[in-house]
Amino acid sequence: MIEVQQQHGGSVVALMEVAPEQIHLYGSAAVEITEDSDVVKVSGLVEKPAAEDAPSHYAIIGRYVLDPAVFGILRRTEPGRGGEIQLTDALQQLAADEKAGGPVHGVVFEGRRYDTGDRGDYLRAIVRLACEREDLGPDFRTWLQRYVTEEMQQR
């Protein structure tokens, strides 16, 4: 993301394609394809849209490299969705007016990601990370396997 910001200037957000029924949980980006397969130019942003109102299935996943101009815009931004000042609204202004602080680009992330704002994903992340650790993994996996087996037998 830093390399993209150094190359193009402005701000950069991490994006991930999500299922249409999940887009309402995220900010959604309207995008234009670039020469780089994993980089898009962001032309608009909407905070937590209904699926039918989403400009795309590209969700903003909470990683940013921000041009300092965004902070001046945030100072002037009125509360939006949920009565909160939304970073998405400030980035929307930057995307709409590049003179205000440069373009906004998105780096499309493909890989394993857990949304720790979702309780189930939070627990899955902890279990996966514990299983993968050399110092915890062997004992934890043994315990987890025994626990799951016992739980299944009780049901």
Cα–Cα distance, 101 to 98 (Å, whole number): 6
**What residue segments make up the domains of the chain, in order of their start?**
2-108, 119-154
Residues of the chain with pLDDT under 70: none
Beta-bridge partners for 30: 44
Q: Note the pLDDT of residue 59.
A: 95
| Residue 82, SS3 per DSSP | helix
Q: What per-residue confidence (pLDDT) applies to 94? A: 92
CATH topology of domain 2-108: Spore Coat Polysaccharide Biosynthesis Protein SpsA; Chain A (3.90.550)
Rounded to 5°, the CA angle 108-80-76 comes to 95
Residue 12: its pLDDT value, please? 98
